[in-house]
Amino acid sequence: MDAAPERQDVAPEQGQGWLEERLGLRRVARRVLDRPVPEGVTWFHCFGGLTFFTFIVLVVTGIVLAFYYVPSPDHARASVAYIDSSLPFGSLVRNLHRWSAYAMIVLVFLHMVRVFVHGAYRKPRELSWVVGVLMLLAVLALGFTGYLLPWDQKGYWATNVGINIAGSVPVVGTYLADLLRGGHELGALTLLRFYALHVFVLPLLVGVGLVAHFAMIRKQGISKPL
Ligand code: HEM
């Protein structure tokens, strides 16, 4: 029987760092990220990547905000005021979070228009489109739930209107509105539910959607521009 071949240590490439020699991260990154791009892609193809960038900014700034925000009617406004005026860089973090949210909504629509105009939703990319629509709904729901969190007049009444619209859906409307509010009145339970949706449920849905979206893009590649 032949003896098993001896393990060969791979010689480090020239200029390779200490960490790279041990972990080989550059090789992994190359394998994951380097994909051929079809000829003729334009700046309009950047909207998907820019949407992803705003999502990362939202997650990072959202984690910082979650260290200080208190989701209760008694403390929400005071905690937001503290972030705005007393926390070092708090107002910067909060504004980055807010403006990235607006930017993400604009960019995701631009991305969708780009995909539509290029007909990139057609076979074999139908599922990328379907997952995209589900993520779009989750992104809009993130904006809606986030609007209530400062617990100010604008957020309170806008949420009231939004929940009343949900309540007008035939058959399930009343149940849906009560589920969102946590009862018949908008109050502490509504704020807590919106907070849970905003920081756990919806980001998780978008995250899972992104994994599926990117896996499909990797498998199929970017469509050839028309
Ligand atoms: C969270 C939101 C989203 C992110 C971060 C995202 C990200 C991306 C990225 C980075 C690409 C590859 C580059 C590009 O074509 O732009 C892509 C492709 C694609 N996206 Fe999205 N996307 C999102 C939402 C959507 C939505 C709402 C739709 C449609 C309803 C959609 C449908 C597609 C399709 C069909 C492709 C393949 C395009 C092609 O092959 O030319 N995506 N997405």
Please write the tens of the pLDDT for every residue from 86-118: 999 999 999 999 999 999 999 999 999 999 999
- For residues 212-225, give the mean pLDDT: 93
Q: For atom 19 of ligand 1, which residue has the closest CA?
A: 128
Query: How far apart, in whole angstroms, are the C-alpha atoms of residue 148 and residue 191?
Result: 7
> Alpha carbon of 130 to those of 109, 219, 223: distances in Å?
14, 16, 16
Q: For atom 5 of ligand 1, which residue has the closest CA?
A: 52
pTM tops 0.75, yes or no: yes
Ligand 1 contacts CB of residue 107 (under 6 A) = no
Q: For atom 42 of ligand 1, which residue has the closest CA?
A: 132
Q: Exposure string (b/e) for 197-215, b if CB count within 10 Å is 16 or more?
A: bbbeebbebbeebeebbee
Domains within the chain, CATH numbers bracketed: 44-220 (1.20.810.10)
Which amino acid would we find at residue 18?
W
pLDDT > 90? residue 5? no
Instruction: Kindly give the number of the ligand 1 atom that is closest to the alpha carbon of 206.
Output: 1
Ligand 1 contacts CB of residue 125 (under 6 A) = yes
Instruction: Kindly give the number of the ligand 1 atom that is closest to the alpha carbon of 225.
Output: 41
* pLDDT tens column, 26-84: 989 998 888 888 888 999 999 999 999 999 999 999 999 999 999 999 999 999 999 99
Ligand 1 contacts CB of residue 142 (under 6 A) = no
| 6 Cα–ligand 1 center, Å | 46
Nearest to 184 by CA among 174, 173, 171: 174
| 222 Cα–ligand 1 center, Å | 10
